[in-house]
A and B are shown apart, each in its own frame.
Chain A
Amino acid sequence: MTSLHNRHINPLILAGLDGKNWHLADYVKRGGYESLKRILTEGMTPEQVIAELKASSLRGRGGAGFPTGLKWSFMPRQFPGQKYLVCNSDEGEPGTFKDRDIIRYNPHALIEGMAIGAFAMGISVGYNYIHGEIWADYERFDEALEEARAAGFLGDGIMGSSFNFQLHGFHGYGAYICGEETALLESLEGKKGQPRFKPPFPASFGLYGKPTTINNTETFAAVPFVFGMGGAAYAAIGKPNNGGTKIFSMSGDVAKPGNYEVPLGTPFATLLELAGGMRDGKKIKAVIPGGSSMPVLTGDVMMATDMDYDSIAKAGSMLGSGAVIVMDETRCMVKSLLRLSYFYYEESCGQCTPCREGTGWLYRIMHRIEHGQGRADDLDMLNSIADNIQGRTICALGDAAAMPVRAFIKNYREEFEYHIEHKRCLVPAYI
Chain B
Amino acid sequence: MSIEPAVEVCDLRKEFIRRDGSRMRGGVRRRRVPALRDVSFTVARGECVAILGQNGSGKSTLVRVLSTLLLHDGGSARVFGVDVAAKPRAVQRLVNRVSVEASFFKRMSPDENLSYSARFYGLTPRQTRTAIPEILRRVGFPPERRGEPMEDLSRGMQQKIALARALLTSPVLLLLDEPTTGLDPRSKLEVQELVRDMRRRHDCTILLCTHDMTEAEALADRVGILHEGVLLALDTPAEVRDRYGAETLEDAFMAATGRSFEDEAEEEVHA
Please indicate whether A and B come from the same complex rather than being unrelated chains: no
